[in-house]
Structure 1
Amino acid sequence: MNLLLITNLFPTHFDPERGIFTLQLARRLQKHCNVTVLCPLPWFPSISLIQNRKWQQYSQVSSQYTIEGIRVYSPKYLLIPKISENIHASLMAKSLSRCIASLHKQHAFDVVNSQWLYPDSVAVDKAIHSLKLPHVATGLGSDINRELYQAGKTQQIMKMLQASTAITVVSSNLKNELIDRKLPADKITVIPNGIDTDKFHLLEKNECRKTLQLEHDIPVILYIGRLSTEKSIKTLISATQKLIKNEYPVKVYLLGDGPLRIELAEQAKSLEIDKNIVFMGKVDHNEIGTWLGATDYLCLPSIMEGCPNVILEALGCGRPVIASRVGAIPDIVTQKSGILFTPEDVSELSCSLEKAINTDWSAEEISRSVEKYSWEHAAEHYYNVFDSAISKKS
């Protein structure tokens, strides 16, 4: 089987952690089929009066590069940020069409998988229309939770989903959203993300804290992710204040960066808990396992999620998860591996953290709870969906 995998969420040499979960999947899929990766990115001049690090990095990504043995093609397309949002897929499609046609002559693809419904899947649907290739569209989270409900995008996404040969999503919650949109249930397959067990496994807590130079005698709560509105970190900071008032002297480490960093720091200061909230900034993915090993609890208070890998990684390290009841999280976290709460409910989160601190958790049992969530298992599921899609198109 010759597979063409298309997504803008894939690592580059300038941003090696971008879409790292897609790289993990692609590596495992190579055991089942020949994988070619297309990572379309916006074109932005390398020399510009407009200083925007993110967009200027795109211009420095080569049109072809290799990462962990996988050949990646990165066609560029013109995009004006924000202004072009509703025609983003059409602009991407023009660039993809030329690149896909050229690569198809070389590799004779049997099936195309696009990851991220907008703009990627919509663009792919347009780009491969004349090639009549089976198309498996994959929804990952916000592309369904948010993009599907935005004016100007809804119709484009629904038209693409109806035309696709098959659909995969990372949680039953996302599948139900699509079923509510009148898409047939038998067209949608739930395939959760996987966990890299070589990196995320049981580690000795004190050794990890020693490596990171953290205190040994205080409960540590860890958040890993983007500092943005949908992650609802304000809820965690407010809940932390309640914990401290109830004489639980915890330390919260926030790993990641984003547009709310200054605002969140000001919130912590105004609540007089700035010494308990530590902003670590972006941390290399290779260090995440050590951080999870060092923590007592992972907290993910998001308003919306798909299948967050950090949840699987924390559980793999044997650490209990306190998270909002959204996306695939209720499918993964059990009463023996964590506590779920209502999104944006400060009091409920504070009580959940307090309960977690007073619970005797079994790290071994927590780690065993995610043994079935391997990337190898996920790749097998994807392969079966691809194989079925090829049969339907024959």
Structure 2
Amino acid sequence: MRLRVLILTNLFPTPWDPLRGTFNRQQFERLGQYHDVDVLTAVDFRERLGGRKGEVKVSGLRTDHFTFVYPPRIGRTLHAMCWLLSLLVQRGRQLRLANYDCLLVSWAYPDAVAVGWLARRLGIPYVVKVHGSDLNVQAEHALRRPQIRSALHHANAVIAVSEALATKAVALDADAARVHVLYNGVDPGLFAPGSRSQARERLDLSPDAPLVLYVGNLKLAKGCLDLLEAFPALLAEHPRAQLVYVGAGPCQTSLLERASALGCADRVFLAGPVPHGALPDWFRAADLLCLPSHNEGVPNVVLEAMSCGTPVVATRVGGIPEVLPSQAGLLVPAHNRDALSQALIDAAGTRWERDAIVRQAAAFRWDDNVSRLAGILRDVVAASPSPLRATA
């Protein structure tokens, strides 16, 4: 049974942020092999004002966007209503006429809350995919929590990227029988072991200096400043070590200023954001990846680094412990910079068995992930009453 599926999310590449939501891009593009998929992405109105930064072309999908308009700085609890009104004003007629079989929404708030209301309006089932901070952070706010709870409770299925997140979804009143754990995947054709020296040569990096790599948004919740504070301890053991940040975000200036204050600015480098297809060389070039996040689902960079044979130092949060065994890396408590310093030193002194790390990553493949996702959507539609197409 081939379905007509509409995906709604804020986590997908757009001309205003071409690198956004690459994990969703990989998953949804493959889902298009099973079902007819449209992707409608919410673009923050402030982002629209910043101008286009590139073009986005995704084979096998019909993609579009709408502008999410809301009152800035106030009324965060009204964002789901604003999200839905923005969607209906700009794409309402299109949605009423499209005759979708089901909706898939990626991110709990405001996206899933709004889509829950939309699905009831259209009379079709909906599936919620949750990622991490949408439940770990957003659901902790008193006025948003009941909205998220309702969206999860009424969903025909909930897809969580880790067991930890699935447990949280059930605690938020999702029907346990409808909650599915579906770890993100890796493309082994792209993320695979390779020559470290050749990767460093292509990236114009030192051929032999120990290299710690961070890949992700440069924001406090990702622990990027914790990593910087922990780095001097590694430098004391390995004076030629380098710390490279790949990504962009609000902490960029703070990182540069703090590196200067710590006296290690000459060993810290901000490479900026890079296309997803360029990440394998960064993982191959690194001695280890460090991601000291304060909360997570299962970050794809951990799986992708492992698929390249690169060990990982990460925090014991969310679903990371579920995918990172001791033979592939080290885990530390979040916010603990002393423990992070020691883990960096220990990881740098460990002789890692790269083949064992790659074998661990082999359990996470997009083909398996998407086959299960396609089946979940079919089951949801098969179990639902015939859609009552909206006529209003």
Alignment TM-score > 0.5, same fold: yes
Pairing partner for 1:33 from 8, 32, 35: 35
- Over 3 Å counting, the alpha-carbon distance change for 1:328 and 1:334 in structure 2 is same
Deviation at 1:43, TM superposition (A): 4.1
Secondary structure in 1 matching 2:164: helix
Are residues 1:13 and 2:15 paired? yes
Deviation at 1:316, TM superposition (A): 0.9
Secondary structure in 1 matching 2:209: coil
Distance 1:198 1:210 in 2: 21
Match of 1:105 in 2: 97
Distance 1:12 1:362 in 2: 39
Q: Residue by residue, what CA displacement relative to the aligned partner does 1:302-358 show, whole Å, maximum 9, x if unpaired?
A: 101111111111011110011111122111111111111111212211221122122
Pairing partner for 1:150 from 141, 145, 149: 141
Secondary structure in 1 matching 2:213: strand
Q: Residue by residue, what CA displacement relative to the aligned partner does 1:163-188 show, whole Å, maximum 9, x if unpaired?
A: 11111111111112223334332221
Matched letter for residue 294 of structure 1:
A
* 263-272 vs 299-308, greater mean Cα deviation: 263-272
Aligned residue pairs: how many?
382
Q: Residue by residue, what CA displacement relative to the aligned partner does 1:172-209 show, whole Å, maximum 9, x if unpaired?
A: 11112223334332221111111122221111000001
Secondary structure in 1 matching 2:266: coil
Match of 2:49 in 1: 56
Match of 2:356 in 1: 365
Kept in 2, the 8 Å contact 1:255–1:280? The answer is: yes
Deviation at 1:247, TM superposition (A): 4.4
- Over 3 Å counting, the alpha-carbon distance change for 1:66 and 1:356 in structure 2 is closer
Distance 2:230 2:68 in 1: 44
Aligned positions of 1:355-394 closer than 5 A: 355-394=346-385
| Gap runs ≥5 in structure 2 | 386-392
Aligned positions of 1:88-99 closer than 5 A: 88-97=79-88, 99=91
Q: Percent identity?
A: 30
Distance 1:211 1:173 in 2: 39
Kept in 2, the 8 Å contact 1:94–1:127? The answer is: no
Distance 1:110 1:249 in 2: 57
Distance 2:113 2:341 in 1: 41
Distance 1:217 1:274 in 2: 19
- Over 3 Å counting, the alpha-carbon distance change for 1:368 and 1:146 in structure 2 is same
Pairing partner for 1:249 from 218, 228, 240: 240
Aligned positions of 1:101-250 closer than 5 A: 102-106=94-98, 108-247=99-238, 249-250=240-241
Distance 1:266 1:58 in 2: 28
Distance 2:86 2:338 in 1: 49
Secondary structure in 2 matching 1:222: strand
Deviation at 1:66, TM superposition (A): 5.1
Matched letter for residue 30 of structure 1:
G
Secondary structure in 2 matching 1:299: strand
Distance 2:85 2:301 in 1: 35
- Over 3 Å counting, the alpha-carbon distance change for 1:260 and 1:60 in structure 2 is closer
Distance 1:258 1:128 in 2: 34
Match of 1:273 in 2: 264
Deviation at 1:89, TM superposition (A): 1.1
| Gap runs ≥5 in structure 1 | 45-53
Distance 2:327 2:272 in 1: 31
Distance 2:114 2:51 in 1: 19
* 357-366 vs 139-148, greater mean Cα deviation: 357-366
Distance 1:61 1:135 in 2: 31
Q: Residue by residue, what CA displacement relative to the aligned partner does 1:100-159 show, whole Å, maximum 9, x if unpaired?
A: 6534533x2211110001111111111221222111111111101111112321111111
Distance 1:375 1:157 in 2: 28
Distance 2:287 2:115 in 1: 43
Kept in 2, the 8 Å contact 1:43–1:59? The answer is: no
- Over 3 Å counting, the alpha-carbon distance change for 1:77 and 1:314 in structure 2 is closer
Matched letter for residue 213 of structure 2:
L
- Over 3 Å counting, the alpha-carbon distance change for 1:283 and 1:73 in structure 2 is closer
Secondary structure in 1 matching 2:233: helix
Match of 1:49 in 2: none
Matched letter for residue 252 of structure 1:
L
Secondary structure in 2 matching 1:6: strand
Matched letter for residue 274 of structure 2:
V
What is the TM-score normalised by the length of structure 2? 0.91
Secondary structure in 1 matching 2:150: helix
Matched letter for residue 105 of structure 1:
L
* 344-353 vs 305-314, greater mean Cα deviation: 344-353
